[in-house]
Chain A
Amino acid sequence: MAKKIKSDLSYILTANELTTGDVVFWSRENSWTDTLAKASLISNDETEAFAEIGTSSERANEVVGAYLTPVQQNAAAITPVELRERRRVKGPSIAYGAPSFSHDLAA
């Protein structure tokens, strides 16, 4: 489940919610949230324990494909290190679909 762990980075635990497919993050309240700002920051020596949380949650049919991904944090925000993950947490960068649909764009 875990990607290669690098010692100098923090991590977040992420997955997709099983029934909806929504992107979710393991939060500081020990539950899944769709708000990145609430994600629990995981240090290198905590990765195994949090990976087990992801596996347990998969077994409990709450989420699909849980994994740890490295992030950087400053006062303003948590930012994934990998390009794919940066796009995944922000959503599409384009105004899509019907004009009546409200887009929350974050290019």
Chain B
Amino acid sequence: MYNYDSHDQAFVEARSREFRDQVERRITGKLSEDEFKPMRLMNGVYLQLHAYMLRVAIPYGTLSADQMRKLAFLAEKYDRGYGHFTTRQNIQYNWPKLIDIPDMLDHLAEVQMHAIQTSGNCIRNVTSDPFAGVAGDEWIDPRPTAELLRQWSSLHPEFAYLPRKFKFAVTGAAEDRTALKFHDIGLKVKPGVDDNPAYEIWVGGGQGRTPRIAVLFEDNVPLSELLPKLDSMLRVYNLHGRRDNKYKARIKILVAEYGLENYRRDVEEDLALQSLEPFEPAVAEYHRIAKDFEQSDLTPLPSASNGDNPPALASWIKQNVTSHKVPGYGVVSISLKPKGGIPGDATAEQMYALADLADRYSQGELRVTHRQNIVLPSVAAKDFAALHEALVKQGLAEDNIGQLSDIIACPGLDYCALATARSIPVAQELSTQLREREKRDDLSGLTLNISGCINACGHHHAASIGILGLNRAETESYQITLGGSSNDNASVGGILGPGFAQSEIPGAIDRILDFYIGSKQEGESFNQTYRRLGKAAFREAVYVAA
């Protein structure tokens, strides 16, 4: 993992002191709420429906065991005993008091963490592949690039007040586990020349009320040109991005309306005017960072035989363990989607336990996924049984990774000030229903995501089956979309038809699955069946059969 140098540490400590001063000035009236709001947002502090909310950055989804312990401690001491892991690999605390937040930030700084730029119209926490560094299909570890971006974008003076928020994702593997094409900029890291990486740059993706799939901006950009290129890309967006309408202010709208070729031309013209000298240290810095991510030696081990495992353990291994690049190890995904549970929530006790298990079985390291689960990246196969037993005790052994019941859901109207309907209760009911159905039907590969408003934090556009909660005449109504995907063949789901009451959703989902199971051809995925038969056929099955 990356370890802060003295500059990094001084930076987060200074920022924490600065925010403490800002909070004191707010409480004593020296700052008005209008003056204070942009400051608190830049430090991840929202005012939600019932309370303040603190969003803590988990850079590129990587955590040490000690950092997880600190997150557990914060949940226990300053919140109501739990935290919520988000689709951007962050954690949110739903009940902190404003007067306690400076202390929380001090605690975070002790373990090289912060909440900087987890909100506001700036470059947000960079996300990455939760299997980085251990995946068998990886070309190159994306984390050094993600850390380089963190350093470049932290308090970047020119990009502190962009037209809207700006999200990066970085991956270095054949399989996209980052929803890369739904980001403002997505980087695919590939081997370049002279031991340096090169980049595919994708631009203009996003969800919200105008979902867009990112387009390829440029291929094979060498490391030495990456930061100046990104600087120019952000600068052109900063100049031309709309500020008159927040719903049209993202770079996806600029690329769509201004045109990719015009945007690319402006970027090249801007780049030609820049001095590259300030960026020259970036290559050396990349290699300094990369040293911290070099895998500590894992000795290849003989593969453990799973033939005699009890059924529950065998099923968990089959569903939740992915092949590791080192023989004899596995990448273990821990589901935060128990049957009937709240997607992404973990109690302080569970977080403490996860930290201990990471120390015992995975070199003290954990990851957070954009699907709101936790990963232990390097577990020896001989330890699977003991780990599974420990997870069962914590209620963390659900064997549904990659199943339909592995539902993404935003906090929705139970917490969020922007939400138009609740999403968590819908997820809870569906996960209960789907866990039963998964016993008889193969629903692996399908995804079901739920958002509580059109801002789409629950990624409903990007799911095989998406559910969007809306407010219709002060009553919750749920719209279903079909055919979305966040993988390398990313697609936006299409609206099936009129919305449903919450009580009608389980039946509607059952009818969709009945029709798919009854209609699919050999080896066909849900989205392939949906595209072959078309929306009208699914619509008839769902609405006419009701």
Residue numbers of A with Cβ under 8 A of B are 16, 18-23, 58, 60-61, 64-65, 81-84, 87-88, 91-94, 96-101, 107
Residues A88 and B27 in contact, CB atoms below 8 Å apart: no
Residues A101 and B424 in contact, CB atoms below 8 Å apart: no
> What is the CA–CA distance of A81 and B424 in the complex, to the nearest angstrom?
22
In the complex, chain B residues whose CB is within 8 Å of the CB of A93: 414, 422, 425
Residues A20 and B51 in contact, CB atoms below 8 Å apart: yes
> What is the CA–CA distance of A94 and B82 in the complex, to the nearest angstrom?
13
Given contacts A83-B475, A101-B81, contact A19 B97 (CB under 8 A): yes
Which one of A97, A98, A99 has the highest number of Cβ atoms from chain B below 10 Å of its Cβ?
A: A97
Give A32 Cβ to nearest chain B Cβ, in Å. 15
Give A97 Cβ to nearest chain B Cβ, in Å. 4
Residues B27 and A18 in contact, CB atoms below 8 Å apart: yes
Residues A21 and B97 in contact, CB atoms below 8 Å apart: yes
B207 within 8 A of A: no
B400 within 8 A of A: no
In the complex, chain B residues whose CB is within 8 Å of the CB of A88: 49-50
Give the interface residue-count category, chain B. Answer: 35 or more
Q: Lowest 6 CB-CB distances: which A-B pairs, in order?
A: A98-B81, A97-B82, A21-B52, A92-B414, A21-B51, A98-B347
> What is the CA–CA distance of A64 and B51 in the complex, to the nearest angstrom?
11
Residues B345 and A98 in contact, CB atoms below 8 Å apart: no
Residues B428 and A83 in contact, CB atoms below 8 Å apart: no
Query: Would you mind naming 17 contact pairs between A and B with Cβ atoms under 8 Å apart?
Result: A19-B99, A21-B48, A23-B50, A61-B28, A81-B474, A82-B474, A84-B420, A87-B413, A88-B50, A91-B50, A94-B424, A94-B425, A97-B80, A97-B82, A97-B347, A98-B81, A101-B81
Residues A20 and B414 in contact, CB atoms below 8 Å apart: no
Which one of A19, A60, A96 has the highest number of Cβ atoms from chain B below 10 Å of its Cβ?
A: A96
B33 within 8 A of A: yes
> What is the CA–CA distance of A96 and B413 in the complex, to the nearest angstrom?
14
A-facing residues in B50-94 (Cβ within 8 Å): 50-52, 79-82, 94
Residue numbers of B with Cβ under 8 A of A are 26-29, 33, 47-52, 79-82, 94, 96-99, 342, 345, 347-349, 413-415, 419-422, 424-425, 428, 471, 474-476
The one of B47, B94, B413, B415 in contact with A16, judged by C-beta atoms closer than 8 angstroms, is B47
Give B420 Cβ to nearest chain A Cβ, in Å. 8
Residues A97 and B474 in contact, CB atoms below 8 Å apart: no
In the complex, chain A residues whose CB is within 8 Å of the CB of B471: 83-84
Residues B47 and A64 in contact, CB atoms below 8 Å apart: yes
Given contacts A65-B47, A101-B80, contact A58 B474 (CB under 8 A): no
Give B504 Cβ to nearest chain A Cβ, in Å. 17
Given contacts A16-B47, A98-B82, contact A83 B476 (CB under 8 A): yes
> What is the CA–CA distance of A94 and B341 in the complex, to the nearest angstrom?
10
In the complex, chain B residues whose CB is within 8 Å of the CB of A58: 33
In the complex, chain A residues whose CB is within 8 Å of the CB of B419: 84
Residues A97 and B81 in contact, CB atoms below 8 Å apart: yes
* Overall SS of chain A's interface: loop
The one of B27, B94, B96, B413 in contact with A84, judged by C-beta atoms closer than 8 angstroms, is B413
Residues B415 and A61 in contact, CB atoms below 8 Å apart: no
Given contacts A83-B471, A83-B476, contact A98 B349 (CB under 8 A): yes
Give B67 Cβ to nearest chain A Cβ, in Å. 20
Residue ID in chain B nearest A84 by CB atoms: B413
Which one of B96, B348, B414 has the highest number of Cβ atoms from chain A below 10 Å of its Cβ?
A: B414
> What is the CA–CA distance of A60 and B28 in the complex, to the nearest angstrom?
9
> What is the CA–CA distance of A43 and B142 in the complex, to the nearest angstrom?
60
In the complex, chain B residues whose CB is within 8 Å of the CB of A100: 81
Residues A65 and B33 in contact, CB atoms below 8 Å apart: yes
Residue ID in chain B nearest A64 by CB atoms: B33
The one of A84, A91, A98 in contact with B348, judged by C-beta atoms closer than 8 angstroms, is A98
> What is the CA–CA distance of A23 and B415 in the complex, to the nearest angstrom?
12
Known pairs A18-B98, A64-B47, A84-B413 / 19 extra A-B pairs, C-beta < 8 Å: A20-B97, A20-B98, A21-B97, A23-B50, A61-B27, A81-B474, A82-B474, A83-B421, A83-B471, A87-B414, A87-B422, A91-B50, A92-B414, A93-B414, A96-B82, A96-B94, A96-B342, A97-B79, A98-B348
Residues A97 and B422 in contact, CB atoms below 8 Å apart: no
> What is the CA–CA distance of A88 and B82 in the complex, to the nearest angstrom?
20
> What is the CA–CA distance of A12 and B53 in the complex, to the nearest angstrom?
25
Given contacts A18-B98, A20-B97, A20-B99, contact A94 B50 (CB under 8 A): no
> What is the CA–CA distance of A20 and B428 in the complex, to the nearest angstrom?
29
In the complex, chain A residues whose CB is within 8 Å of the CB of B347: 97-99
Give B46 Cβ to nearest chain A Cβ, in Å. 10
In the complex, chain A residues whose CB is within 8 Å of the CB of B81: 97-98, 100-101
Give A104 Cβ to nearest chain B Cβ, in Å. 12
Residue ID in chain B nearest A89 by CB atoms: B50
> What is the CA–CA distance of A58 and B33 in the complex, to the nearest angstrom?
8
In the complex, chain B residues whose CB is within 8 Å of the CB of A22: 50-51
> What is the CA–CA distance of A81 and B421 in the complex, to the nearest angstrom?
15
Given contacts A20-B98, A81-B474, contact A94 B51 (CB under 8 A): no
In the complex, chain B residues whose CB is within 8 Å of the CB of A20: 51-52, 97-99
Give B236 Cβ to nearest chain A Cβ, in Å. 36
> What is the CA–CA distance of A97 and B288 in the complex, to the nearest angstrom?
40
Give A61 Cβ to nearest chain B Cβ, in Å. 4
The one of B80, B414, B420, B475 in contact with A94, judged by C-beta atoms closer than 8 angstroms, is B414
The one of A19, A65, A87, A98 in contact with B80, judged by C-beta atoms closer than 8 angstroms, is A98
Give A71 Cβ to nearest chain B Cβ, in Å. 13
In the complex, chain B residues whose CB is within 8 Å of the CB of A87: 49, 413-414, 422
Residue ID in chain B nearest A88 by CB atoms: B49
> What is the CA–CA distance of A47 and B26 in the complex, to the nearest angstrom?
28
In the complex, chain A residues whose CB is within 8 Å of the CB of B474: 81-83
Residues A92 and B27 in contact, CB atoms below 8 Å apart: no
